[in-house]
Structure 1
Amino acid sequence: MISVFPTSLLSLALLLADCTHTPATTPPQGGAPLIQSTTSPPQVVLPASSAAATLRVGAARFDRYLPLLKGKRVGVVVNQTARVGQAFLVDTLLAKGVGVNVIFGPEHGFRGEAADGATIKNGRDQRSGLPALSLYGATKKPTPDMLKDVDVLVFDIQDVGVRFYTFISTMHYVMEAAAEQGKEVIVLDRPNPNGWYVDGPVLEAAHKSFVGMHPIPVVHGLTVGELAKMINGEKWLAGGRRCKLTVIPVEGYTHATRYELPVRPSPNLPTAHSVALYPTVCLFEGTDVSVGRGTEFPFEVIGAPTQPATRPFSFTPAPNAGSPTPPQNGKRCYGQDLRQTGNDIGFSMKYLLDFYQQSTDKEHFFGKYFEQLTGTRSLREQVIAGKSEQEIRQSWEPALGRYKALRKKYLLYPEA
């Protein structure tokens, strides 16, 4: 189960992780900056839930995919969540004699340390000496030069089942590059912690961006493997191409399985509760409301200076490792503490409606980013018009119903 570490214990854990790797004795060729070993990242591994203990993630099913890698030049698309037990997938594959040639990292880098939106530089893994190339920033799609020594790309990144979580956009571009350049893609599937339901508006083409590339709802109810099959099957890659795709499924998983992540998926989702709240709370990133970046409880609190000071809870964001420049930095934010809500909150509109109604500056409540998150112009208009949550949800139903029917074609796991 993911749990919140007291600051002192977290600092100690990070320090111990930093101290366990062995520095390289010679720098890599080409002058590329050294990147800490994939064996010992400064990333806390949290105790797995009992459900997790009964599952075998795709990465652990070596008999299913090692034969597909034999004699091939391999590129891996991974971050700190790509583990088999306590070991990093990269180290495990190298130990098994797999010809890994290059490591690709998504947003936050392949070690998962960088803050949201931070530029990730290319470098080399300190332990293996392998090139570690960024797929976040100026280059989101692998170039022909990046893939010149690769026959097959292995994707293993934990997702949280929400459309605007950018790892699925990275997967899209990896698949697209593979289709264009004649490479294979193997997705090592992992459970979806929000995979037990489907909800929210379906993205409209006019609002497509890196935080929403596919006509799917906010909470899509798919694992990354299932979504990869949908992307391929529906010909959503550029030019209607399809890549040569293999998905290694999770053994023992159903969409009713409540799975709590053994490793935090990104710096600002440190708890199982923050992962559960993420679909609901992240919409506030497109408003003047802070979601708790720059606090010890990101995505578990909401507040803004433009909310009434009579609200019973307040906090003040300040720079930290996960958010060097948090929204509403240094300002007292009045709002609501969501840490006592249950993990079954689903995708709720009640907080958005309440905070808009209570705002003392409605004219500046919404920002330009809001439509990229919601995937539709109508939600902003409905909130401003004072529509109820029931009325808003009814407007989603036609597109949501069509998506649910489409989703059934690509499910790898039973619903219950």
Structure 2
Amino acid sequence: MKRCFTHGSVDERMTMPRRVLTRAGGIVGIGAAAALVLSTAAGAMPAGPTPQALAPMAAQAPTLELGIEALFDDPAELALLEGKKVGLITNPTGVDHDLTHSMDLLIAGEDEGGYELTALYAPEHGILGGAPAGAGVESYVDERTGLTVWSLYGATQRPTAEMLADVDVLLFDIQDIGARFYTYIWTMYYAMDAAAEFDKGFIVLDRPNPLGDRMDGPILDEALSSFVGLKAIPMQHGLTVGELASYFNGEFLDDPVEDFHVVTMDGYDPDDFTSGYGLPWVLPSPNIPTIETAWAYAGMGLIESLNASEGRGTTTPFLWTGHPSIDEVGAYDLAADLNSRGLEGVTFRPMFANPTTSKQAGKLSGGVNLHITDPEAYSPVRTGLHVVSAMYHLDGIDWREGTIYPSQSCETEADTCWIDRLTGDKSVRMQIEAGIDPDVIIAGWQDDLAAFDASAEPYRLYAADEPEPTEEPTDDAAGAGDDGAADGAADGAEADGSSDGAGAGAGADGSDAQGAAGADGADGTDGTDAGADGDADGAQAGADAGASDGADGADGADGADGADGADGADAADGAQAAAGAGTDGADDAGAGAAAAGDRLPVTGATVTVGVVLALLLSAGGVLLVRRRQHS
């Protein structure tokens, strides 16, 4: 069975068909009330119920065996390294369930495995994870291990012949967080491309996706390619790094890696994401401090595209957004508006903060704090899109400009804006500006999302559990079965009214740092705002060819604006994006700045048709954001 985002109860979701994609015709049903913005006058009642913070997850044993653990537990896997010189691409997240780092495990296992670890490779934020987003990561010799650490987030994002001269096979062991604009997956892509060119092996030590196997968001228009999105995958991709690497190798690389392998996890069930798979949380980048932040990032990362703060420089990055123009009444109104939209699994409360870094630093700003109350029902992309739309239409808030170049603007359809890089689709910006309901926008990408899901099927490594066969009911049992069906039908009818809460946690975590090639980047929003206060946390590789002028990552030190980071001039072409490719989000303004891509025309007819269809389907009360499910 497949769990789907619905308005119904958990029981109803559990009985959905395994691969249900969307509602009829791919159109999202929208309740009339949810389609309208609730305007609250000054002195209105407090917004919504008192929010409850997500309770800390009880300590539990891991529900799976990680790829790094399977490598040493399975002699057949370890034999793949025998007689070889090994290079390791990693960061602080490359640990086993006891928090022992993979580089230490590999060094300790050299004699048993008959291999030699000869080199390390650092993504945004560096091997040690302390480099601010947007700050260039230099190559150096590690004092503790004596190994050379080659930077893949500096003058180059793609390993060179010199970097690979002393290795036979590359191992990739980094925790991804499921968002297209989180730059670690593009570090993996470039490394695979180099491995194919220089005839090296490539092995992925697989890790779970913190968002499970749920997919959402538009497919990237490659005319907007940057280090926060190089290739045509969804904003929330729903794959493990091993599955994603398999897809890259089979679909995107002109010359696939011949000696390619994934060391799979044992016991991986994407539905276990709500418990964090029983694993300790290690910050993948500075502005993803908790697993709750990771759940939100794929949608709330879109805030990087506004001149509002996405929470960098506060204790709640990507869980709070605000702007100095929002006063107390405005903050309460905004929370009431968002709480009225039927966003499941999340509650908003008014909150003020004074960011210490990045956008609006040093300015008391009103806004909302997001509390994820039910991670299974919560939809990151849908939530994020609603928040961006609500914020954009407030006085004083506009699209962010100057993320890479001082003259960069976001005024016309011809401009390439940071929101375009993050969503990967210019029509999203056009529709938000036109005031189209976010759920209508979401309906527009369902067919493309379903097509990507089908194309990814051959690369999935973890089969869903097959339902157990049921025995034919006896005469005595038939009545009970009928009663059960009636009960189920009643539950289904009840479920029809609820709203789907899929939110936006997409990568603002990149290195938007304007002058440096953020090492602090995987945090999509963790970048150092070097230069343009690149809050889009991504690797915004600078316009200068090898320059470190690229990471506008909001995630790091205020520069690697998750989304902003790797917008380097070459990113779109697969060339090395200039030094700013942030993991926190790549602001590849330079790289993909070229083409605008076709967009859905926004006309009166478009709005009318979309709203009419939405209201018609609202009668059924079902709002479904496509999600892959298991029995």
Q: 1:317 aligns with which of 355, 362, 379?
A: 355
| Segment of structure 1 superposing worse, 151-160 or 299-308 | 299-308
Is the aligned partner of 1:268 residue 2:287?
yes
| 2:174 aligned partner | 157
Q: Is the 8 A contact 1:153 1:184 kept in 2?
A: yes
Q: Is the 8 A contact 1:202 1:215 kept in 2?
A: yes
Name the SS for the 1:409 alignment partner.
helix
Q: From the superposition, tell whether residues 174 and 397 of structure 1 become closer, same or farther in structure 2 (CA, over 3 Å).
A: same
Is the aligned partner of 1:303 residue 2:322?
yes
Work out the number of aligned pairs and report it.
Answer: 362
Residues of 2 paired with 1:183 and 1:272: CA distance?
A: 34
| 2:262 aligned partner | 247
1:148 is matched by which residue type in structure 2?
A
Percent identity of equivalent pairs: 41
Aligned pairs for 1:45-124 within 5 A: 53-61=62-70, 62=72, 63=74, 64-84=76-96, 85-97=98-110, 98-124=115-141
Displacement, 1:53? 1.1
Q: Deviations over 1:224-282 (max 9, x none)?
A: 00000000111x12x34444210011100022221525212111101111011101110
Displacement, 1:194? 0.7
Residues of 1 paired with 2:289 and 2:90: CA distance?
A: 19
Residues of 2 paired with 1:342 and 1:274: CA distance?
A: 14
Q: From the superposition, tell whether residues 336 and 148 of structure 1 become closer, same or farther in structure 2 (CA, over 3 Å).
A: same
Q: From the superposition, tell whether residues 287 and 96 of structure 1 become closer, same or farther in structure 2 (CA, over 3 Å).
A: same
Q: From the superposition, tell whether residues 70 and 49 of structure 1 become closer, same or farther in structure 2 (CA, over 3 Å).
A: farther
Q: Is the 8 A contact 1:308 1:359 kept in 2?
A: no
Displacement, 1:70? 1.1
Q: 2:438 aligns with which of 389, 400, 408?
A: 389
Q: 1:194 aligns with which of 186, 211, 215?
A: 211
2:391 is matched by which residue type in structure 1?
F
Displacement, 1:334? 1.7
2:306 is matched by which residue type in structure 1?
T
Q: Deviations over 1:12-53 (max 9, x none)?
A: xxxxxxxxxxxxxxxxxxxxxxxxxxxxxxxxxxx9976761
Between the two structures, name the one with larger relative contact order (CA 8 Å, sep ≥ 6): 2
Residues of 1 paired with 2:175 and 2:399: CA distance?
A: 38
Q: 2:394 aligns with which of 358, 369, 394?
A: 358
Q: 1:231 aligns with which of 242, 248, 251?
A: 248
Q: From the superposition, tell whether residues 157 and 48 of structure 1 become closer, same or farther in structure 2 (CA, over 3 Å).
A: farther
Displacement, 1:65? 2.7
Return the index of the structure with the highest Cα Rg.
Answer: 2
Q: Is the 8 A contact 2:90 2:172 kept in 1?
A: yes
Q: From the superposition, tell whether residues 298 and 364 of structure 1 become closer, same or farther in structure 2 (CA, over 3 Å).
A: closer
Residues of 2 paired with 1:177 and 1:317: CA distance?
A: 40
Kindly report the root-mean-square deviation, in angstroms, between the aligned alpha carbons of the 2 structures: 2.0
Residues of 1 paired with 2:459 and 2:257: CA distance?
A: 15
Q: Deviations over 1:318-370 (max 9, x none)?
A: 04xxxxxx222112222101135543422222211111122334476895321
Q: Deviations over 1:259-310 (max 9, x none)?
A: 5252121111011110111011100111112111111111110112244552
Name the SS for the 2:246 alignment partner.
helix
Give every structure 1 segment of 4 or more consecutive aligned residues whose post-TM-superposition deviation is greater than 3 Å. Answer: 47-52, 239-243, 306-309, 339-342, 361-367
| 2:300 aligned partner | 281
| 2:490 aligned partner | none
Q: Is the 8 A contact 1:57 1:249 kept in 2?
A: yes
Residues of 2 paired with 1:354 and 1:364: CA distance?
A: 15
2:68 is matched by which residue type in structure 1?
A
| Segment of structure 1 superposing worse, 303-312 or 83-92 | 303-312
Q: Is the 8 A contact 1:308 1:360 kept in 2?
A: no
Residues of 2 paired with 1:136 and 1:363: CA distance?
A: 27
TM-score using structure 1 length:
0.83
Displacement, 1:195? 2.0
- Which consecutive residues of structure 1, in runs of 5 or more, have no partner in the other structure? 1-46, 320-325
| 1:380 aligned partner | 429
Residues of 2 paired with 1:188 and 1:314: CA distance?
A: 42
Residues of 1 paired with 2:430 and 2:58: CA distance?
A: 41
Q: 2:272 aligns with which of 257, 260, 265?
A: 257
Name the SS for the 1:87 alignment partner.
coil
Displacement, 1:152? 0.3
Displacement, 1:197? 1.0
Q: From the superposition, tell whether residues 175 and 243 of structure 1 become closer, same or farther in structure 2 (CA, over 3 Å).
A: farther
Is the aligned partner of 1:330 residue 2:330?
no
Q: 1:142 aligns with which of 136, 139, 159?
A: 159
Name the SS for the 2:242 alignment partner.
helix
Name the SS for the 2:171 alignment partner.
strand
| 2:608 aligned partner | none
Q: From the superposition, tell whether residues 113 and 360 of structure 1 become closer, same or farther in structure 2 (CA, over 3 Å).
A: same
Q: From the superposition, tell whether residues 340 and 73 of structure 1 become closer, same or farther in structure 2 (CA, over 3 Å).
A: closer
Displacement, 1:191? 0.4
Q: From the superposition, tell whether residues 48 and 250 of structure 1 become closer, same or farther in structure 2 (CA, over 3 Å).
A: farther
Displacement, 1:55? 0.8
Q: From the superposition, tell whether residues 109 and 243 of structure 1 become closer, same or farther in structure 2 (CA, over 3 Å).
A: farther
Q: Is the 8 A contact 2:197 2:255 kept in 1?
A: no
1:60 is matched by which residue type in structure 2?
E
| 1:36 aligned partner | none
Q: Deviations over 1:354-396 (max 9, x none)?
A: 1112233447689532111110101110000011122101211
Q: Is the 8 A contact 1:307 1:355 kept in 2?
A: no
Q: From the superposition, tell whether residues 318 and 243 of structure 1 become closer, same or farther in structure 2 (CA, over 3 Å).
A: farther
Q: Deviations over 1:121-167 (max 9, x none)?
A: 11122211100111012210000000001100000000011100100
Residues of 2 paired with 1:60 and 1:66: CA distance?
A: 10
Q: Is the 8 A contact 2:306 2:397 kept in 1?
A: no
Residues of 2 paired with 1:243 and 1:299: CA distance?
A: 39
Displacement, 1:314? 1.5
Q: 2:457 aligns with which of 405, 408, 414?
A: 408
- Which consecutive residues of structure 2, in runs of 5 or more, have no partner in the other structure? 1-55, 332-349, 402-408, 411-416, 465-628
